Structure 1
Amino acid sequence: MTQANESITSDSQLRFDGRVAIVTGAGRGIGRDHALLLASRGAAVMVNDLGGGAFGGGASREPAEQVVAEIRDAGGTASLNFADVSSEAATSELVAQTFKEFGRVDIVVNNAGIGRFQPFDSMSLEEFELMLKVHTVGTFLVTRAAWPHMVEQGFGRIIMTSSNGMVGLPHLSHYSAAKAGVYGFMKSLSIEGSRHGINVNALWPNATTPLSTTMNAETEAIPPELSVIDPASTPTDLDGSPHHISPVVAWLAHESCEVTGEVFHAGYGGVTRVFMAQGPCFASSDLTIEAVADHWADINREQPFTAAPSTLVAARDLQLAIATQLK
């Protein structure tokens, strides 16, 4: 269960002894590795997985049961839950079961998700709403159920799964919208959680998983003219195993990690911080359509940029830049 490439000795390992984690979508792929790593470092893990298909629908107890068995066989502590994260009643029961069996909830890793390519011109409302229901509403429901316990104990670590898909991918507008919603939810909740000792962050994971494999098989249906990159420019010899992502999640879940309100892009053995920024400001006391057009190149410059960690900070920085220019 412990990853083979770990070289840190047990005396210096970052441990989770006494901590309790809920990992949704933990029966397969990335979620499975999250659960195994946290358990291998001492956390008691509630392994949640409906066991449905990549596109939603269906259910199977087997994936979650296998992960729990693997954790227990390695000497770890785990229990299983088959809640549908898009159900309010089921997510409340998920957290209640965790609290009943382990006495607390310290860590929530919102990982459950589905995906399917669908051109916008043939996308139904039902298909759009399903993505929001699983990714965005599901993340909200699990987090909301765990939140009061974290507030009461003055500690919590919440990791949400967004996606680089939120910045645009053809035939995935419903998925992109759902993942962008997760991003905005995380940013706002991180501010609210700061006074309670609750850190909230998000992940953009890249890995070869059952979901990504199923979705990638559908990319052949995307017209070449909609591709924004040359496939030949992408390395093909990197290891896309999910275990390259889980150490980032585990660090964000650790009590010694003080980071909150951030997004990290991880996969293939690398990790980078992702942040939203605003470029240089053009200001005029008499802003007209023509002035915007004439200064369009200035408005679109990317350097120097200012990070926009929150709505209030971004608005303040814009106002400061305007005031400076108009003096």
Structure 2
Amino acid sequence: MTADRSFDQELRFDGQVAVVTGAGNGLGRAYAMALAARGAAVVVNDLGGDISGAGGSARPAQTVAAEITAAGGQATPNFDDVTAPGGGERIVATAIETFGRIDVLVNNAGILDTSEFVTCPDETIQRTVATHLLGTMAVTRAALPPMLDQKHGRIVCTSSGAVFGSREGVAYQAAKSGLIAFTRAVAQIGAEHGVASNAVLPTAFTRMTSSIPPGAFRDFMESRFTPERVAAAVLLLAHASFPHSGECFLVGGGRMARLVLGVTEGYIADDPTPEEFRGHLDTIMSTGTLLTPANRVEEFESYLPRLGFGASLDQLVAPADAPEAGTAVRNGD
């Protein structure tokens, strides 16, 4: 067997422009520094607030941009809030006005939410969802048109392993779960235009996890789960050579693993009743056969033959100029 030596070929970003949101500290800083070290001109975006999203300061973004410049790279700071009206447009405009284009967008801006759901203030829920989900949507929405026009772009979103469920930080989990669907949707939009969208679910020791009590576990996290270990995967997803889109990866401590959105084979009833479904729960719950559809249409088509319908949905879509020929639902519940 011939060894795969692809890891010997350094991934470079020379001539490319990257935008990294939330790049003033922690993971975002690691991404910005790593992209710049490999040739990218970087827009270092950071509002400069605390981990709850309160306040603001130009210093974090300015400091990181200055570090990049001092090391011989190209960078410019940006202080826009991803949740503010027009914030996404201004962040992307900074890249285009300063460097002439945008090739890479890393959506990393986020805040911490560990609140109890029932007693959590409405303001906390709204700020959390706005920062993680709506903020990512705003910047991506602004970045897509130039990427689609130039037939090239790489978008990396930030979800979280918290999507598997936890008692605290429910708003955070809900927003991060929404980003999985958003990442897959953007991948569909960009599929025919050379624009890829993927997500990372990172684990790293940063100011958001520094509340871990002193001890052996904290020491292990601080030494092994560095932001730079996550940055290695982010740069791979951001590179033009990465062949996948619409995928999500758990990254941390030197590990990179694919997260799949799977569906069991399930049970089909001709005349369903609650009692019949209850009687076949073992089959419904079994992961012995697990499907991993790439999109909503593929999931729908996966069981249509078992219902007695053999045609592909693509064959049922009426031409745009002939709506009277009939309609078919391609993407919906």
> Structures share a fold, TM > 0.5?
yes
Equivalent position of 1:97 in the other structure: 94
1:16 matched to 2:1? The reply is: no
Equivalent position of 1:78 in the other structure: 75
1:163 matched to 2:148? The reply is: no
1:260 matched to 2:245? The reply is: yes
Equivalent position of 1:28 in the other structure: 25
**1:155 partner letter:** H
Residues 237 and 21 of structure 1, relative CA distance in 2, 3 Å threshold: closer
Equivalent position of 1:288 in the other structure: 273
Equivalent position of 1:240 in the other structure: 225
Selected match of 2:259 from 260, 269, 274: 274
Which secondary structure does the structure 2 equivalent of 1:211 belong to? coil
**2:288 partner letter:** Q
1:112 and 1:135 in contact (8 A); partners too: yes
1:119 matched to 2:104? The reply is: no
Q: Which moved more, 1:313-322 or 1:57-66?
A: 313-322
Alpha-carbon distance between aligned partners in 2 of 1:101 and 1:236, rounded to the nearest angstrom: 38
Alpha-carbon distance between aligned partners in 2 of 1:256 and 1:192, rounded to the nearest angstrom: 19
C-alpha displacement of 1:320: 3.3
Equivalent position of 1:153 in the other structure: 150
1:47 and 1:64 in contact (8 A); partners too: yes
Which secondary structure does the structure 1 equivalent of 2:225 belong to? coil
TM-score (norm 1): 0.87
Q: Which moved more, 1:305-314 or 1:108-117?
A: 305-314
Unaligned runs of 5+ in 2: 1-6, 310-333
1:63 matched to 2:60? The reply is: yes
Which secondary structure does the structure 1 equivalent of 2:110 belong to? coil
Selected match of 1:298 from 265, 269, 283: 283
Equivalent position of 1:181 in the other structure: 178
Structure 1 consecutive aligned stretches of length 4 or more whose deviation exceeds 3 Å: 235-238, 320-324
- Write out per-residue CA displacement over residues 138-162 of structure 1, whole angstroms, 9 at most, x where no aligned residue: 0011111111111111111000001
C-alpha displacement of 1:287: 1.7
C-alpha displacement of 1:125: 2.2
1:24 and 1:47 in contact (8 A); partners too: yes
Alpha-carbon distance between aligned partners in 1 of 2:114 and 2:305, rounded to the nearest angstrom: 42
Q: Which moved more, 1:103-112 or 1:57-66?
A: 57-66
Which secondary structure does the structure 2 equivalent of 1:133 belong to? helix
Which secondary structure does the structure 2 equivalent of 1:111 belong to? coil
Which secondary structure does the structure 2 equivalent of 1:264 belong to? strand
Q: Which moved more, 1:304-313 or 1:255-264?
A: 304-313
**1:103 partner letter:** G
Q: Which moved more, 1:16-25 or 1:87-96?
A: 87-96
Alpha-carbon distance between aligned partners in 1 of 2:87 and 2:271, rounded to the nearest angstrom: 55
1:281 and 1:299 in contact (8 A); partners too: yes
Residues 132 and 70 of structure 1, relative CA distance in 2, 3 Å threshold: same
Equivalent position of 2:130 in the other structure: 133
Alpha-carbon distance between aligned partners in 2 of 1:13 and 1:97, rounded to the nearest angstrom: 28
Equivalent position of 1:213 in the other structure: 210
1:281 and 1:318 in contact (8 A); partners too: no
Report the RMSD for the aligned CA atoms in angstroms: 1.9
C-alpha displacement of 1:129: 1.2
Equivalent position of 1:249 in the other structure: 234
Which secondary structure does the structure 1 equivalent of 2:302 belong to? helix
Query: RCO (CA 8 Å, sep 6+): is it higher in 1 or 2?
Result: 1
Alpha-carbon distance between aligned partners in 2 of 1:170 and 1:195, rounded to the nearest angstrom: 40
C-alpha displacement of 1:275: 0.7
1:49 matched to 2:46? The reply is: yes
Alpha-carbon distance between aligned partners in 2 of 1:121 and 1:265, rounded to the nearest angstrom: 29
Alpha-carbon distance between aligned partners in 2 of 1:48 and 1:272, rounded to the nearest angstrom: 28
**1:94 partner letter:** I
**2:111 partner letter:** I
Equivalent position of 2:105 in the other structure: 108
- Write out per-residue CA displacement over residues 177-218 of structure 1, whole angstroms, 9 at most, x where no aligned residue: 11111111111111011111110011100000111224x57x
1:68 and 1:78 in contact (8 A); partners too: yes
2:51 and 2:111 in contact (8 A); partners too: yes
- May I ask how many residue pairs the two structures share in their alignment? 299
How much identity, in percent, do the aligned residues show? 37
2:266 and 2:285 in contact (8 A); partners too: no
C-alpha displacement of 1:237: 8.8
TM-score (norm 2): 0.86
Alpha-carbon distance between aligned partners in 2 of 1:192 and 1:155, rounded to the nearest angstrom: 12
